[in-house]
Structure 1
Amino acid sequence: MDKVKPKKHLGQHFLTDLRIAQRIAEAVTGHWDVKKVLEIGPGMGVLTDFLLEKDWDLYLVDIDTESIAYLHQKYPKLGEKIIEGDYLKKDFAPIMNGDYAVAGNFPYNISSQIFFKVLEERAHVTEVVCMLQKEVAERIASPKGNKDYGILSVLLQAFYDIEYLFTVPPGVFNPPPKVNSGVIRLQRNSVQNLACDEKLFFKVVKQGFATRRKTLRNCMKVFNVSPELNADPVMDKRAEQLDVQEFVSLTQKIQESWNQ
């Protein structure tokens, strides 16, 4: 098999620039001394080649049957570590058997879903180094007060330290996407549990950004908060003005208001 044809319905844009692939591979640090790496959507293995040079305990997962056949032919020694399946639907905890890092050139159409899956697996995913649409990458790494700051920014920054590493132009892909890409690195922080009900925290963050132009007083009506909390100065702010700890504090206040 000479090559794999990129498939539009899978959002495939294969990286062709070896220097960029090398930079992405070198950005994987083995955070918390983790040696296992799961590459999502390896395609024809351009990034895989450089990850293998680093001697990681490497696993590959791809939903594309053609890519899987190509990868088995190219990397026969990986054997069962080449996994055909959907990362979003597969339980990788028993497969990886411990902590692991995630790397990859994420399909634009499912990149946000991949990060929500990472959040679910945060007890085991210690690091993520990936390339995705530049706007999404900037949003994830954005600090509070920025127009790009949103739901994924808060939820991921609650559990990961995030760096925007570099921008990648469309011309280094086959086929070229219509937008620039960005490479980011997420490294697990020391937070094991938030100081509030985490399910409620997720709901509060999502509700806050559902109508981001409105104040929190308007956004939080669905939670039936007490008159005292409704008068709190924090309710005069908009969601993009709150950092992670301020969202944790708001979640605590909502919980307390129900007990008054």
Structure 2
Amino acid sequence: MSELHQHRARKRFGQNFLHDAGVIHRILRAIHAREGERLVEIGPGQGALTEGLLSSGAHLDVVELDLDLIPILRAKFAERANFRLNQGDALKFDFTQLGGEPHSLRVVGNLPYNISTPLIFHLLDHASLIKDMHFMLQKEVVERLAAEPGGGDWGRLSIMVQYHCRVEHLFNVGPGAFNPPPKVDSAIVRLVPHAVLPHPAKDHRLLERVVREAFNQRRKTLRNTLKALLPAAAIEAAGVDGSRRPEQLDLAAFVRLADQLAEQTSAE
């Protein structure tokens, strides 16, 4: 039995390896990597996407946490001049060390469900380096990323990601494309950092704070959920109706609330 087949997907890493050739081809077509581009693949697993990405002629850095997969990846790809392997935790990885021009890194990954949200937030801290991101995620996470105001999927993840990026829900992938098959459907999403933020906040950390507070009790009105941060008069001054619930507000309204908090904080 080859070394490749001896590796078993690990629950603690949330591993589900992609094996469906049709899905792999469709993802590679969506990414459309080109010669000379700088790509980063997070969690390459057994290299299902890696081969196609390397064949494009792009420079590929891969970040893999599972030590058992390192020899498998080395055996397959170490001879390729455009391949570089980084063993480590993508949640702690410093993407600035990869160098390159602003908005030049293209990030790809079949992300374990248990780290997908914190990893996206970690990457958004490096948004100025990134040209685009293509991720395989749990379908319900992609629906939250791409959500619009007014529905139950609209929340902290939607707002903070859409503050930084344009979000495209590309296509869905069934459990049968993976080994072992997960218990949920997956989807491919494209995130493209804005060259110019459509609704820049005076302080994006205050925006995060306002959004977190607002959605802590999403069934309550803004007047109630934000009372520790903003008095009712300040909410009204931001042009927001305090009797509305957080899911009814769009990104621009949350930015106005955050800017109101920034003014209030600087006046104190």
The alignment's TM-score, normalised by the length of structure 1, stands at: 0.92
CA distance in 1, matches of 2:220, 2:161: 23
Counterpart pick for 1:16 among 10, 16, 19: 19
The offset of 1:78, in angstroms, is 4.3
DSSP 3-state at the match of 1:12: coil
The offset of 1:29, in angstroms, is 4.8
Residues 7 and 53 of structure 1, relative CA distance in 2, 3 Å threshold: same
Residues 60 and 230 of structure 1, relative CA distance in 2, 3 Å threshold: closer
The offset of 1:7, in angstroms, is 0.8
Residues 39-94 of structure 1: CA deviation (Å, up to 9, x unaligned):
01111111112212322211111001111110110002347711110011121211
CA distance in 2, matches of 1:216, 1:191: 29
CA contact under 8 A between 2:156 and 2:211: conserved in structure 1? yes
CA distance in 2, matches of 1:191, 1:207: 26
% identical equivalent positions = 37
Are 1:218 and 2:220 matched, yes or no? no
DSSP 3-state at the match of 1:185: strand
Tell me which residue corresponds to 1:199. 205
Counterpart pick for 1:234 among 229, 241, 250: 241
Tell me which residue corresponds to 2:148. 143
The alignment's TM-score, normalised by the length of structure 2, stands at: 0.89
Greater CA drift, 97-106 or 37-46: 97-106
Residues 209 and 49 of structure 1, relative CA distance in 2, 3 Å threshold: same
Tell me which residue corresponds to 2:251. 244
Residues 34 and 256 of structure 1, relative CA distance in 2, 3 Å threshold: farther
DSSP 3-state at the match of 1:146: coil
Tell me which residue corresponds to 1:116. 121
Q: What are the within-5 Å matches in structure 2 for residues 86-105 of structure 1? A: 86-98=89-101, 99-105=104-110
CA contact under 8 A between 1:34 and 1:100: conserved in structure 2? no
CA distance in 2, matches of 1:200, 1:34: 38
Residues 105-155 of structure 1: CA deviation (Å, up to 9, x unaligned):
000111011111111111112211010111111101111112111111101
Counterpart pick for 2:84 among 81, 84, 87: 81
Match of 1:111, as an amino acid? S
CA distance in 2, matches of 1:188, 1:209: 24
Are 1:40 and 2:42 matched, yes or no? yes
Greater CA drift, 64-73 or 192-201: 192-201
Residues 90 and 51 of structure 1, relative CA distance in 2, 3 Å threshold: same
CA distance in 1, matches of 2:176, 2:117: 23
Question: What are structure 1's unaligned runs of at least 5 residues?
Answer: none
- TM-align CA RMSD: 2.2
Question: What are structure 2's unaligned runs of at least 5 residues?
Answer: none
Residues 30 and 76 of structure 1, relative CA distance in 2, 3 Å threshold: closer
The offset of 1:256, in angstroms, is 3.1
